């Protein structure tokens, strides 16, 4: 596979790889490094790329495994927990702070989820993957994916209700 073909195949889902890496590694810098590593690994396998039925699914699985390995390794202690700031010139400062607070709350809530639920929620609700694709990526049965997604959503809903009720009711 030539460079132009590789770019046409891989670049459309590069941002998805980054978002998955960021969800798992938290740090923007670590996610960028992980994405770059995955792209290099894909390029090193470019000759065999045509054999894969779904290159995007293969790349997402590679990203997931790379990030989980990174978290388990000794380097995990060195990971920086640096969050990127949300900036939008057109919104007021108050709205910007509210948005940052909401994003931070969702990240905290998602971090408390079990790993499988976190992955299913990320892939389905953030990345908009179909159930069949999630089953293939995570090597899970459709029923297990639906149950994990339901439990994750329920946990997020409960935590948001707790946050917004301020202990009332």
Sequence ranges of the domains in the chain: 3-78, 95-165
- Would you write out the chain's pLDDT as a tens digit for each of its 169 residues? 678 887 888 888 899 999 988 888 878 888 899 999 999 998 888 788 778 888 888 889 899 889 888 887 745 555 544 444 444 455 577 778 888 888 888 888 888 999 999 989 988 988 888 999 999 989 999 999 999 999 999 998 888 888 777 655 5
DSSP 8-class letter at 91: S
CATH dotted code for 3-78: 1.10.1740
Task: Give the C-alpha separation, 161 to 166, whole Å.
Answer: 9
Report the pLDDT value the prediction gives residue 36, as an integer from 0 to 100.
92
- The vertex-76 CA angle with 128 and 18, nearest 5°, equals 25
Q: What pLDDT is stored for residue 1 in this prediction?
A: 64
Cβ atoms < 10 Å from Cβ of 88: 9
**Of residues 35, 31, 160, the one with CA closest to residue 102:** 160
Q: What is the CATH number of domain 95-165?
A: 1.10.10.10
């Amino acid at each position: 596979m030539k460079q132009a073909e590789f770019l046409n195949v891989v670049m459309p889902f590069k941002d998805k790889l980054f978002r998955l890496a960021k969800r798992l590694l938290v740090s923007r810098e670590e996610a960028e490094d992980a994405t770059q590593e995955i792209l290099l690994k894909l390029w090193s396998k470019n000759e065999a790329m045509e054999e894969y039925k779904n290159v995007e699914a293969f790349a997402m699985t590679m990203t997931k495994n790379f990030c989980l390995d990174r978290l388990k390794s000794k380097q995990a202690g060195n990971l920086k927990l640096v969050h990127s700031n949300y900036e939008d010139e057109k919104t007021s400062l108050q709205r910007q702070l509210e948005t940052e607070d909401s994003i931070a709350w969702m990240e905290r809530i998602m971090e408390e989820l079990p790993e499988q639920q976190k992955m299913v929620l990320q892939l389905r609700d953030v990345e908009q993957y179909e159930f069949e694709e999630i089953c293939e990526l995570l090597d899970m049965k459709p029923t297990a994916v639906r149950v994990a997604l339901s439990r994750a959503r329920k946990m997020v809903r409960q935590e948001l209700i707790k946050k917004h009720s301020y202990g009332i009711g």
